[in-house]
Structure 1
Amino acid sequence: MYEQRTAGAVGLGSDEGLSPAELAAKYGLTVSGARPGLVEYTHLLWGRRHFIVSYATARLTAMYTAAKLGQIWQVMTPLLNAAVFYLIFGLLLGTNRGIPNFIAYLCTGVFVFQFTQSAVLAGTRSIADNLGLIRALHFPRACLPIAFTVIQLQQLLFSMGVLGVIVLITGEPLTLRWLLIIPTLLLQSVFNSGLALFMARIGAKTTDMAQLMPFIIRTWMYLSGVFWSVSTFSAKAPHWVGILLQLNPALIFNDLMRFSLMTSVHASALPQHVWLITAFWAGLVGLGGYVFFWRDEEEYGRG
């Protein structure tokens, strides 16, 4: 026993004068919650893909449990928004002039933009509203904003069935162009995920951003041709204004979905090289938001 105490004392004495970093290196200790490299982080995130989908599905199921109509609200919410916009902008303000099949045009814009709107708003609050989960479990924090984007995608997929019926009822035929819905939704999902990740980091640092974002998103909606024709407006506006409007990613996703569903929307209404521009926005925002979020990985849940 005495020899053990002596050995222990000698061991302790040999550590005197070492800095905390040197002690950690000597005994192979690592920082708890340290940010892994980007490649390793991506590998860890991919390993949690089942958790992301399960978490999103559970949250979506629980979202409407207190409502008597339950999951029907997934479809009723965008339909009611479309009805309000039709009353105000279509009937009272007359923005439907010059737009063939305005009902399908409006509903498509509302459904598609709400996907981006809901993903961004949920992403902004995803860290601040889940601090208990973040502090209790160790997992890549990017799981949360991505999971909330998956929730909004699941809601949109429910709504797309209703949107398809509306489009058909209003006189649009079922064509092969409907297959373009798939790449459009994939690119928009990447774009929305990146935007949600970007806003999640900002929202985690500045909690007031969750209160400000609805006003920013609403302004963005008014600029995205949800209930008015960009081509009609651009014909009367300066050329540079028209170019800026055509580069608006939310407007591009709206127009691509309308082109996919409606034969009354022609290819000439789309910006030149529209798929290249769409892929650029999805790649820039998707990858940029992911890296921006990852760089602050160690800070989420602290304080």
Structure 2
Amino acid sequence: MSDTTHDGAVALSERPSPDDGLSPAELAGKYGLSVSGARPGLFAYARQLWGRRHFILAFSQAKLMAQYSQAKLGQVWQVATPLLNAAVYYLIFGLILHSGRGMSHAVFIPFLVTGVFVFTFTQSSVMAGVRAISGNLGLVRALHFPRASLPISFALQQLQQLLFSMIVLVIVAMAFGSYPSLAWLMVIPALALQFVFNTGLALVMARLGSKTPDLAQLMPFIMRTWMYSSGVMFSITVMLAGKPSWIANVLQYNPAAVYMDLVRYSLIDGYGPANLPAHVWFAALFWAVFMGAVGFVYFWKAEERYGRG
């Protein structure tokens, strides 16, 4: 009896399976299985992000409120920090080095404050993007959500902080003789394009920083170099007068300089179109679309790997 049962079991085990020869992908398709945490398609991923828009906004607002929660002056530092930076730069570059030559004080001081505020918007977005994944691994590993929500939230946080700073910027501009006009409305599309550019750059840095945490230590040096080459404290055309024109063109068309100059041109009386490179709005649009698209696709391609290993 036992021999018969044993022979039957052997015969059953030797019977070929209908799944023999199928690859893992074919088996998954046959039984309707999918990889847990698999990267969705690009457009499906964009829809998921749109579905998390309330989370993205709430997360950015929470981070903004928590940023200075331990300081006695609280949210005042959102405005005081870039304003103090502008004061230091004015002392060094304005009074000591006279980098504002060719501009009156009524133009140079708003010029400098605008440059510091607008560049800080990009700088802070980049620095926050570097740590967006590596600094929130607990959240990334605990919950399933599109990881791009994090760098986008941090870029949105910096935009909200800039809007607080713009109140001070408007006061400074008016104090030095630049009063509201229709030209001021151009600030809105300029900052909107810069926000798209910053978000794309934050997405790129978030992916790089997720695998190389030491990048956060290197970025301040890179950002400082970018700041000094973007005309934050001086007019590029004035400082490079007599130098080969291609050098000034390269510096003027770098995205940080493009967005700063657009805001300066919009707000400051006396900062005329002669200070802007040709086709500056096209350059602003190009940088926003290019970096926004590249950053989004580049980050999405590694969606499955964030928080693993």
Q: TM-score range by the shorter chain?
A: over 0.9
The residue number in structure 2 matching 1:205 is 211
Stretch of structure 1 that moved more, 79-88 or 21-30: 21-30
The residue number in structure 2 matching 1:162 is 168
Task: Give the CA deviation at 1:64.
Answer: 1.2
Q: Is the 8 A contact 2:140 2:147 kept in 1?
A: yes
The residue number in structure 1 matching 2:256 is 250
Task: Give the CA deviation at 1:16.
Answer: 7.1
The residue number in structure 1 matching 2:61 is 57
TM-score, reference length from structure 1: 0.93
Q: Is the 8 A contact 2:177 2:269 kept in 1?
A: no
Is 1:39 aligned to 2:43, yes or no?
yes
Aligned runs of 1:50-89 on 2, under 5 Å? Answer: 50-89=54-93
1:284 and 1:21 map into 2 onto residues whose CA distance is 35
The residue number in structure 1 matching 2:292 is 286
2:42 and 2:29 map into 1 onto residues whose CA distance is 23
- Superposed CA offset, 1:206-227 (max 9, x none): 1111110110000000001000
Across the aligned residues of Structure 1 and Structure 2, the Cα RMSD in angstroms comes to 1.7
1:222 and 1:104 map into 2 onto residues whose CA distance is 18
Is 1:192 aligned to 2:203, yes or no?
no
Q: Is the 8 A contact 2:133 2:209 kept in 1?
A: yes
- Superposed CA offset, 1:94-130 (max 9, x none): 1122123211110000000000000000001101001
- For the residue of structure 1 that corresponds to 2:246, the secondary structure is helix
Q: Is the 8 A contact 2:125 2:158 kept in 1?
A: yes
Whichever residue aligns with residue 45 of structure 2, its letter is Y
Identify which of 250, 267, 270 aligns with 1:264: 270
- Superposed CA offset, 1:118-143 (max 9, x none): 00000011010011101111111110
Aligned runs of 1:220-231 on 2, under 5 Å? Answer: 220-231=226-237
Runs of 4+ in 1 over 2 A off after TM superposition: 12-27
The residue number in structure 2 matching 1:3 is none
Identity %: 59
Identify which of 104, 108, 111 aligns with 1:105: 111
2:151 and 2:19 map into 1 onto residues whose CA distance is 45
Task: Give the CA deviation at 1:243.
Answer: 1.4
Whichever residue aligns with residue 37 of structure 1, its letter is G
- For the residue of structure 2 that corresponds to 1:255, the secondary structure is helix
Task: Give the CA deviation at 1:257.
Answer: 0.5
Task: Give the CA deviation at 1:237.
Answer: 1.2
Task: Give the CA deviation at 1:234.
Answer: 2.9
TM-score, reference length from structure 2: 0.92
2:221 and 2:254 map into 1 onto residues whose CA distance is 18
Stretch of structure 1 that moved more, 91-100 or 133-142: 91-100
2:68 and 2:249 map into 1 onto residues whose CA distance is 41
Is 1:180 aligned to 2:182, yes or no?
no
Whichever residue aligns with residue 287 of structure 1, its letter is A
2:95 and 2:152 map into 1 onto residues whose CA distance is 38
* Long gaps (5+) in structure 2: 1-8
Stretch of structure 1 that moved more, 193-202 or 237-246: 237-246
Report the count of equivalent residues.
Answer: 295
Identify which of 226, 238, 242 aligns with 2:244: 238
1:265 and 1:33 map into 2 onto residues whose CA distance is 52
Larger Rg belongs to: 2
Task: Give the CA deviation at 1:175.
Answer: 1.4
Q: Is the 8 A contact 2:112 2:233 kept in 1?
A: yes
Whichever residue aligns with residue 59 of structure 2, its letter is Y
1:85 and 1:233 map into 2 onto residues whose CA distance is 16
Whichever residue aligns with residue 161 of structure 1, its letter is I
Task: Give the CA deviation at 1:22.
Answer: 4.2
- For the residue of structure 2 that corresponds to 1:82, the secondary structure is helix
- For the residue of structure 1 that corresponds to 2:145, the secondary structure is coil
Q: Is the 8 A contact 1:15 1:23 kept in 2?
A: no
Task: Give the CA deviation at 1:173.
Answer: 1.9
Whichever residue aligns with residue 256 of structure 2, its letter is A
The residue number in structure 2 matching 1:216 is 222
2:148 and 2:16 map into 1 onto residues whose CA distance is 43
2:76 and 2:285 map into 1 onto residues whose CA distance is 33
Q: Is the 8 A contact 1:223 1:245 kept in 2?
A: yes
- Superposed CA offset, 1:6-35 (max 9, x none): 9xx99x984775654444333221101111
The residue number in structure 2 matching 1:131 is 137
Q: Is the 8 A contact 2:230 2:252 kept in 1?
A: no
1:94 and 1:234 map into 2 onto residues whose CA distance is 15
1:260 and 1:228 map into 2 onto residues whose CA distance is 18
